[in-house]
Amino acid sequence: MSERAGDRRPRARRIGPATVAWAAASLFLIVLALLATRVAAGEDPALRARAAAAPLPPRRVLVRKIYERRVIIHLPASAPPQPAQSSQQVSSSGGYAGGGLVTRTS
């Protein structure tokens, strides 16, 4: 058993949470600074693509004017209402003398 006691390795020291947070924040700020310098130097591929794109030609617009004539008649309040008059006159010759239009459904 004395041989096994000599094989023991010392335990690795654990990194504390404050050290991990500090390392992550430092790495983030370094990457942010590198990207900011690239953008400031004009090496950003997204901004370069917008500047190099040709402007679009103006779109043709078809203008259609629609004239609609509406006649509004204002009747005085004292005038009696007039019955609606039909503009179509039907002359009855014989058969039915009712005066209205006769239609067949079948």
Q: Please report whether residue 22 resides in a domain.
A: yes
84 φ, ψ to 5°? -70, 135
Domain of 36, in residue numbers: 16-40
Q: Please report whether residue 11 resides in a domain.
A: no
CA 31 remoteness from chain centre: 35
pLDDT tens-digit series, residues 30-46: 999 999 999 888 887 77
For the chain, first and last CA: distance in Å? Answer: 116
Among residues 82, 65, 62, the alpha carbon closest in space to that of 73 is found at 82
Q: Please report whether residue 87 resides in a domain.
A: no
> Which amino acid would we find at residue 2?
S
Q: Please report whether residue 3 resides in a domain.
A: no
Q: Please report whether residue 76 resides in a domain.
A: no
Q: Please report whether residue 56 resides in a domain.
A: no
Q: Please report whether residue 63 resides in a domain.
A: no
Q: Please report whether residue 45 resides in a domain.
A: no
Give the separation between CA 90 and CA 101, rounded to whole angstroms.
7
pLDDT tens-digit series, residues 58-103: 889 888 888 899 988 887 777 666 666 655 555 555 554 555 666 7
Q: What total of structural domains would you count in the chain? A: 1
